[in-house]
């Protein structure tokens, strides 16, 4: 694995800036390695935006932050045709989606038309504007953030779009020691004001080459079967936990098993291995599955959360 050292260097560089969000940083790098999009959900002040911006700074790639608002239009993302009188013709002005790393900040504040434009970019790596289809850069990935508690001025993401995210990461508060370290680093921040949080560690070609190496990570047939069993268990949890026979309205799609395979291979690569273990699958499974499950009304009335259901299935479904 020729490029593992560079990826590990990037991961260490992220730790030098972000305190107490090790799982989030792992998932951002997994998204980069697997070529998937990442949705980060957490309360304000938990370094969601800072973590994504720091990852972008560590890669010598074109980065664009888009602040999603209710008045955003599809053309604000994709670009639009502009008439040039001196040439007597229309010229297409590319929108921010033509960059390589996109930070979609507060993604749930944009209306349905904007989400539809983003959906094509996320799934097909292309956009259609002005009657023409244009390809996006090979590295293209969306890292989106949303706040779980705000309701005014927000639009729930449609299930079809949620399914396009490789991972849905949820954040919690840091520990007391981590919060103390955040205070100390903040006091010293004025010394580096105006500088990038970290220097670029790798370029686009290295990141793409590392992705190719992730595809070479070995996944044993028994581990593949375990991934499929987990995905199918979300559709019929009653087969594993009888009390949950009516708990799920819609389970994870086949795309969930693909996400598990790609993300577990990327996590194994990040851990310095060239093979996937069942523990890799168990670690990454909640982030691959939680946004692909719709609980029934009865389950919600009983206060059953998606995370609790996934944890119960991980305990019930035997690992190889």
- 114 and 73 within one domain: yes
Q: Kindly report the number of other CB atoms within 10 A of residue 137's CB atom.
A: 16
- 247 and 119 within one domain: no
- pTM above threshold 0.75: yes
Please check whether residue 279 lies inside any domain of the structure: yes
Q: The domain containing residue 12 runs over which residues?
A: 4-198
- 275 and 150 within one domain: no
Alpha-carbon distance 120 to 134, whole Å? Answer: 11
Whether the Cβ atoms of residue 66 and residue 102 lie closer than 8 Å to each other: yes
Alpha-carbon distance 140 to 60, whole Å? Answer: 13
DSSP E strands in 15-96: the ranges are 37-41, 59-60, 63-67, 79-84, 89-94
Q: How many domains does the chain have?
A: 2
Please check whether residue 204 lies inside any domain of the structure: no
pLDDT, position 308? 94
Res. 246: pLDDT tops 60? yes
pLDDT, position 112? 81
Average pLDDT of the chain is: 88
Please check whether residue 207 lies inside any domain of the structure: no
Please check whether residue 299 lies inside any domain of the structure: yes
Res. 271: pLDDT tops 90? yes
- 180 and 91 within one domain: yes
Q: What is the mean pLDDT of residues 156-169?
A: 87
Q: What is the mean pLDDT of residues 251-270?
A: 94
Q: What is the mean pLDDT of residues 249-272?
A: 93
Please check whether residue 288 lies inside any domain of the structure: yes
Q: Would you place residue 15 in the very low, low, confident or very high pLDDT band (cuts 50, 70, 90)?
A: confident
Q: Among the three residues 168, 198, 228, which one is the final residue of a domain in this structure? A: 198
Q: What is the mean pLDDT of residues 126-146?
A: 88
Res. 284: pLDDT tops 60? yes
CATH code where residue 155 lies: 3.40.50.300
């Amino acid at each position: 694995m020729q490029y593992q050292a560079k990826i590990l260097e990037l991961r260490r560089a992220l730790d030098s800036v972000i305190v107490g969000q090790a799982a989030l940083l792992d998932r951002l790098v997994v998204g980069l390695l697997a070529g998937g999009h990442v949705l980060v959900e957490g309360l304000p002040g938990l370094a969601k935006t800072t973590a994504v911006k720091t990852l972008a700074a560590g890669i010598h790639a074109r980065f664009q932050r888009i602040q999603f608002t209710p008045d955003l239009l599809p053309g604000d993302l994709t670009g639009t045709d502009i008439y040039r009188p001196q040439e007597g013709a229309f010229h297409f002005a590319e929108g921010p989606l033509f960059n390589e790393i996109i930070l979609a900040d507060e993604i749930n504040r944009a209306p349905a038309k904007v989400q539809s434009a983003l959906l094509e970019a996320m799934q097909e790596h292309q956009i259609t504007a002005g009657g023409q289809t244009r390809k996006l850069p090979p590295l293209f990935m969306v890292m989106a953030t949303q706040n779980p508690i705000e309701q005014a001025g927000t639009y729930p993401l449609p299930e079809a779009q949620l399914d396009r995210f490789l991972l849905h990461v949820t954040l919690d508060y840091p520990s007391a020691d981590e919060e103390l370290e955040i205070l100390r680093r903040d006091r010293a921040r004025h010394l580096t004001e105006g500088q990038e949080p970290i220097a670029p560690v790798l370029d686009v070609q290295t990141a793409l080459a590392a992705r190719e190496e992730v595809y070479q990570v070995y996944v044993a047939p028994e581990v593949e079967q375990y991934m499929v069993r987990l995905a199918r268990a979300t559709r019929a949890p009653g087969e594993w936990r009888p009390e949950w026979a009516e708990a799920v309205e819609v389970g994870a799609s086949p795309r969930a098993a693909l996400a598990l395979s790609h993300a577990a291979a990327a996590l194994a690569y990040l851990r310095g291995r060239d093979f996937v273990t069942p523990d890799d699958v168990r670690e990454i499974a909640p982030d691959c599955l939680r946004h692909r499950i719709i609980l029934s009304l009865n389950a919600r009335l009983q206060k059953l959360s998606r995370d609790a259901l996934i944890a119960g299935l991980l305990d019930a479904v035997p690992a190889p």
